[in-house]
Amino acid sequence: MINPIHTQRLEYDTEEEEEEEEKEEEEEEDEKEEVIQKRFALSPRLFSKATEMISGVFKSASPTNNVEILPLCL
């Protein structure tokens, strides 16, 4: 039989690891955004607007659809 205290600790470690992983992913995404913003020299406002538009497209596309992602020409 598993000790409930031990189980709680495992769950806590898992949640802690999950939060750490999410934080790392957010940091990586922020770094990617900074690189893209510098490369295309968009103002922060225009970059934010473009990011919102692109993320909306990706969120609305189903993974089962055969969607070809075309490069954006700025």
Is residue 7 in some structural domain?
no
What confidence tier does 44 reach under pLDDT thresholds 50, 70, 90? confident
Measure the N-to-C terminal CA separation of the chain; round to a whole number of Å.
Answer: 61
Is residue 55 in some structural domain?
no
**Average pLDDT of 50-63?**
73
Is residue 42 in some structural domain?
yes
Question: Does residue 56 have a pLDDT over 60?
Answer: yes
Is residue 58 in some structural domain?
no
> In angstroms, rounded to a whole number, what is the distance separating the alpha carbons of residues 41 and 46?
10
Cβ contacts of residue 40 below 8 Å, gap of 6+? 47, 74
Mean pLDDT, the chain, integer:
71
Is residue 60 in some structural domain?
no
Higher pLDDT pick, 45 / 65: 45
Total number of domains constituting the chain: 1
Q: Which run of H or of E encompasses 51?
A: helix 44-60
Cα–chain center distance at 74: 23
> In angstroms, rounded to a whole number, what is the distance separating the alpha carbons of residues 74 and 69?
15
Question: Does residue 27 have a pLDDT over 70?
Answer: yes
Is residue 37 in some structural domain?
yes
Is residue 29 in some structural domain?
yes
Give the domain range for residue 42: 23-47
Is residue 40 in some structural domain?
yes
